[in-house]
Chain A
Amino acid sequence: MESCNCIDPQMAADDLLVKYQYMSDFFIALAYFSIPLELIYFVKKSAVFPYRWVLVQFGAFIVLCGATHLINLWTFRIHSRTVAIVMTTAKVLTAVVSCATALMLVHIIPDLLSVKTRELFLKNKAAELDREMGLIRTQEETGRHVRMLTHEIRSTLDRHTILKTTLIELGRTLALEECALWMPTRTGLELQLSYTLRQQNPVGFTVPIHLPVINQVFSSNRAVKISHNCPVARLRPYAGKYMPGAVVAVRVPLLHLSNFQIYDWPEVSTRNYALMVLMLPSDSARQWHVHELELVEVVADQVAVALSHAAILEESMRARDQLMEQNVALDLARREAETAIRARNDFLAVMNHEMRTPMHAVIALSSLLQETDLTAEQRLMVETILKSSNLLATLINDVLDLSRLEDGSLQLEEATFNLHSLFREVLNLIKPVASVKKLSLTSHLASDLPTYAIGDEKRLMQTILNVVGNAVKFSKEGCISVTAFIAKPESFRDPRIPDFLPVPSDSHFYLRVQVKDSGSGINPQDIPKLFSKFAQNQSLATRNPAGSGLGLAICRRFVNLMEGHIWIESEGIGKGCTATFIVKLGIPDRSNELKLPFVPKVPGNHVHGRTNFAGLKVLVMDDNGVSRTVTKGLLMHLGCDVTTASSSEECLRVVSLEHEVVFMDVCTGLDGYELAVRIHEKLTKHQDRPLIVALTGNTKRVTKETCMRVGMDGLILKPISVDKMRGVLSELLERRVLFETV
C-alpha cells in the first residue's frame, strides 16, 4: 500500500462530520448531475436559445464538478492510487472547464441582459401601439357615425325630420345627456329653443341673440366649449350630484338660395345662424375630445346643407301649389269668360234676328207710306219715322258688326272689284249731302292706282264712307278733299305710326286714302279717344245727335283686319282735320283685269296659278308652217318641250302619253275633230292621256259643243299672246278643261 498524502482519518468522534460531508457531497453530485439534465430538457423544449455552446460548456463544467464531488466520496477512506489519479484528473478538468466557463460568462452575460432590455422595449412599444390602435378605432367609429348621421340627415327633405334626426343621432353617437337647437326668430333678435333631444315639447324659451357667448360661437366655425351656466346651456333642471357635464356649442348656418353666388362660396355677411348646444352626461368624468368636437362641426355643416335643401324644396313645393291654384283659378275664369261670350253671342244672334225683323217692317212700311197721299204734316211725321228707324237700323248693324269684330269672328271677303268705281260710288253718295251743306268735295286718284284690286269691297266702302261722312258731318263750311294713291314703302317709316311695319310684296299693294276737311277740327288731346267705342267728342255731342260714336271704332277694326292703319291728325279746334288710312289690297292677275270671258271668275286665286312650265311636254299640230313655228316659239318661250306635227297622220304617229297637252289647229275643218277622236282611241285606255286643246282663228265653224263631243278638253281662239298662253296653260293644268267662249 502506498502512502497517500491524505490526512489520517480522524478519530471516531469525527465520524458524524464525515458522514455529513459524505451525504452533502453525494447530494451536491446529484444536483450537479441533474442540473444539466434539466437544462437540456428545458432547452430542448424551448425552440429559441441562442447560446447552446455556452450551455454545453456549462453542462460540462457542472458534470465535471459533480464528478469531482462524486469521486470525492471515495477519498474519505483509504483509497488506491487509481482513485487518486482519477480524482486528480477530474479536478484538473473541472478547473479547466470552470475557468473557461467563467471567462465565457463574462462575455455572455451582458448579452443576455441586453436581450432583456430589448424585450422590455418591445413590450412598451406594443402597449403604445395598442393605445394608438384604440384611438384609431375610436376615430373610425366616429367617422362611421358621422357618415351614418349624414346619411340619415340627408335622406329626408323634411326640415323637422332632419333636425330631429340630427339631435337623436348625435345624442346616440356621443352619448349626450342633452342636445338642443336654438333657431333665430323672425325678427332676428332672439334665439328660440326649437328642438331638444330629451324633452318632447320644448317650451319656447328665447334668448337675446347678442350675448357675448353667442357671438363668440357664431364668429367661428369650430365647436366652442361654453360654460354650463350660460343661458343657452341651462336647458334642464340640474339633476346631477357633483358636476354638470361639459357643454359645447356650435353654429349651424342657415343657408338661403341667394347665398350661393355662382363661382363664389356663400358670403359670410348675410348669414343666419342657429345654435346647437350639446351637453355631456353630468357626473361622468368625460371631457370633450378633439375628435368628438370635429364630429360635431362636421355634423353642423351637413345639417346646414340639408336644411337648405329642405328649405328649397319647401319653397318650390309652395310655388308649385300656388301655381296650381292660379291655374285652377285661371281656368275657371276662362271658362266663365267663354260662357259669357257664348251667352252674349247667343243673345246677339237672337237679338239680331228679333231686332231686325221689326226694323225691316217699320222701314219698309214707312217708305211705303211715304209713297201714298199724305198731308204735309203727315209726310213730315213719316219722314221723321223713316229717318229715325234708318238710324236705328244702322245702329243695330253697327253694334252687331262691332261685336263680331271684337270676337274676331268677322272675316273679310276677298273678291276682285273695281277700285275706281268704288271711289266714284262713294263720292256720288256723299256729294248730295256735301252740296246741301255747301261744302265742295274734290277727289284725286293717283294715276298708278290699279283699276282692279282684291279685297273686301263692301267693308272698304263702309270705311271710306265713314271717314268721308265724318269729314262732311263735322264741317260747316269749306272743302273736303279725298286723295288716294299707292303707299310707297319709304313712306311707311312714319313716326306717327311706329308700330306699323308693312311688308311690301309682289301680290299686294298698300292703298293710302287721305281725307282732308276744313271743318271744326279736333283738340289733339282728344284724338286717341276718337277710336274708342261710344266715346263722343264732347264739344260736338250736342251739335250732332246723329252717330253712335261707333263709326270710327268699326273703321279701325276693319282697317286692322285689312292689315292696315288709320289715324287722324288735327292742329286744333277750328283748323280742320285730316283722316288717313292705309290698307292692304291684293293685285289681281292680268288675265283677271282684262275680264276675258274664258276665265271663270275665281276670286283672287288666279294669281297663284302655275307660272313655270319648264319641261312640260307639248305637241303642236298645225299644217300651216308659219303658225306652227309661231306657236312652237311661244310655247318654247314659256319653257315647254315642244314637238311639232304638220299633219294629222304625223300627229297620231308622234302622240304619246309623255305629252301632257296637245294643241291642235282645227282651222282646216273636220280633220281636227277626227284626229281628236283617233287620239282618244289610241290613248284613252290610260289614266293620264294628254289634254287635247283646239286652236282656232275661226269663230264660226268650231263650237264648244262639237269640241266637247269629240272629247277635246279645250278650245282657244287665235291670236294668242304670251300672257294668254301662260294663263291658258296654267288654267288647263289646274282644271283639266278650258273652253273659251267664242
Chain B
Amino acid sequence: MYDLSQLERQLAEFTSSLFDEGFLDDQFNQLKQLQDESNPEFVVEVVNLFFEDAERLLNELAKTLAQDNIDFKRVDAHVHQLKGSSSSIGAQRVQKVCIAFRNYCEEQNVEGCLKILQEIKQECSLVKSKFETLFKMEQQVACRRLS
C-alpha cells in the first residue's frame, strides 16, 4: 500500500492532468472552494447532480432528434441546459461540444446534430469516469489521513 505522501502526489498529478487535458477548468476550482465543514460533500453532490441531469437531457435529446419533425427550439433548449450545467461544474470539454451543438441547431443541421450528440455522450461518459477516479483517489487520501 502506498503511504500518504505518495497518494497525495498521485492525486495532485491526476488533478493537474485533468486540467491540462481540458477536462476541467477554473470553475471546478471554484466549486472546490465552496466545499467546507458545513458542506463537506458539496463537489460530489453537484457532480452527481450533473450526471443525472446530463443523462436525462441526453435521453431527451435522443428522443427529440429521433422524431420526424425535429423541434430545433426544443433541442436548443436542452443543449442550452446541458451547456449551462457543464459550465457550472467546469466540465470544459462537454461545454465546448455543447457550443458546437448549438451551432448545428441554429443551422438546423440534423446530421451534424446527431453526430455531435454521440460526441457529447462520449465526452460525458469520459468525464464521468475521470470524476469517479478523482473521487476515489480523494477518498483514499482522506482515509489515509484519518488512519
Contact = CB atoms under 8 A, between A and B. Distances in A.
> How big is the B interface, by class?
20 to 34
Interface string B12-31: 00000000000000110011
Contact of A667 (B31, B36, B84): B84
A625 B53 CA distance: 7
A212 B30 CA distance: 106
B113 to A, nearest CB: 20
Given A667-B80, A668-B77, A697 B30 contact: no
A633 B39 contact: yes
A627 B26 CA distance: 15
B42 interface: yes
A478 B80 CA distance: 67
A630 B50 CA distance: 10
A630 B39 contact: no
B87 A637 contact: no
B85 A625 contact: yes
A628 to B, nearest CB: 9
Nearest to A626: B85
Contact of B50 (A626, A634, A636, A721): A626
A24 interface: no
Contacts of A719: 26-27, 30, 87-88
Nearest to A718: B87
B142 interface: no
B89 interface: yes
A611 interface: no
A718 B84 CA distance: 9
Nearest to B42: A633
B70 interface: no
A722 interface: yes
A112 B104 CA distance: 164
B110 interface: no
A625 B33 CA distance: 19
B34 A722 contact: yes
A637 B32 CA distance: 11
Contacts of B87: 697, 718-719
Residue of A627, A634, A718 most packed against chain B (CB within 10 A): A627
Contacts of B38: 636
Interface string B78-100: 00110111111100000000000
A378 interface: no
A634 B36 CA distance: 11
A624 B27 CA distance: 16
User: 4 closest Cβ contacts across the A-B interface?
Assistant: A626-B85, A630-B88, A633-B34, A637-B34
17 contacts: A624-B84, A626-B84, A626-B85, A626-B88, A626-B89, A630-B46, A633-B34, A633-B39, A633-B42, A634-B34, A636-B34, A637-B34, A697-B83, A718-B88, A719-B27, A719-B87, A722-B33
Given A626-B89, A636-B34, A668-B80, 16 more contacts: A624-B53, A626-B84, A626-B85, A627-B84, A627-B85, A629-B46, A630-B31, A630-B88, A633-B31, A636-B39, A637-B39, A667-B84, A719-B27, A719-B30, A719-B87, A722-B33
